[in-house]
């Protein structure tokens, strides 16, 4: 038999977003009892250096601490590893090389979900950190699908996204939600027919304020959770058939 299935979660970025991802794993998995849910080991250690500041040249690289988390998850026997932080995927290549267990990619999971959406919008807004926007992962993927990305302006990032994101990190998700809702509405006003919530703090913040109806949204954490669930269900089917 192949290695037992054990999902490793490299979290702590931030800790609330990791807890939210763990809930999304449960929601994504059809289970009649506890034993049918995904077995998970999580490294939810929030002392990882700030990813946004590192990419802006304002702080140390988080890579050594990320590598430590990857090492601990491999030590624990993880068969696959998920990283519920979009910005941390800047270091995906180095982490993948250091890991025995394969790493799932949050951007790839999101684009696959968008590709199979029943109503594919022509313009999609991206709510993300500057590091994720600068990397261009979502923009490139959308362009390959024939979709036009709609991006935040520099003023919107400074006035709404950054303070909204950090409000969640300091335990004020409703305050963050009010700011991030303004960012979402601005993207929609510029033609976005759907939104990618490409920072794991964003869905938490919008849920905290019971955000009014927005157009179709794609949550990368949900897409990643669903991909993990698919792997687990395939494993169970093979193991018990």
Active site residues: 85, 199
Residues 202, 54: contact at Cβ < 8 Å? no
Residue in 133, 127, 135, 214 with CA at minimum distance from that of residue 165: 127
Q: Are 87 and 132 in contact (CB under 8 A)?
A: yes
Beta-carbon contacts of 32 under 8 Å, excluding residues fewer than 6 positions away, are: none
CA quadruple 222, 181, 176, 123: dihedral sign: positive
- Tally of CB atoms within 10 A around 36: 12
Output the DSSP codes for 93-141.
HHHHHH-SSPBP-HHHHHHHHHHT-SS--SEEEEE--HHHHHHTHHHHH
Query: ω into residue 14 within 30 of 0, thus cis?
Result: yes
Report how far residue 187's alpha carbon sits from residue 152's, in angstroms, rounded to the nearest whole number.
7
């Amino acid at each position: 038999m192949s290695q037992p299935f054990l999902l490793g979660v490299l979290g702590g970025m931030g800790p609330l977003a990791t807890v939210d991802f763990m809930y999304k794993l449960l929601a994504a998995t059809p289970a009649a009892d506890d034993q049918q849910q995904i077995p998970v080991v999580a490294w939810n250690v929030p002392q990882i250096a700030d990813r946004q500041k590192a990419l802006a040249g304002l702080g140390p690289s988080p890579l050594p601490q990320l590598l430590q988390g990857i090492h601990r998850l491999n030590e624990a026997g993880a068969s696959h590893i998920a990283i519920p932080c979009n910005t941390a995927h800047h270091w995906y290549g180095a982490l993948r090389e250091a890991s025995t267990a394969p790493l799932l990619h949050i951007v790839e999971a999101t684009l696959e979900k968008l590709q199979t959406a029943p109503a594919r919008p022509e313009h999609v807004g991206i709510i993300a950190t500057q590091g994720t926007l600068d990397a261009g992962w979502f923009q490139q993927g959308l362009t390959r699908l024939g979709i036009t990305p709609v991006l935040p302006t520099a003023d919107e990032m400074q006035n709404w996204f950054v303070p909204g994101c950090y409000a969640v990190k300091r335990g004020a998700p409703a305050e963050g939600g009010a700011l991030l809702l303004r960012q979402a509405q601005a993207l929609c006003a510029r033609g976005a027919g759907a939104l990618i919530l490409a920072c794991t703090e964003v869905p938490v913040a919008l849920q905290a304020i019971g955000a009014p109806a927005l157009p179709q949204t794609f949550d990368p954490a949900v897409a990643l959770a669903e991909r993990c669930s698919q792997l687990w269900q395939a494993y169970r089917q093979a193991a018990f058939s």
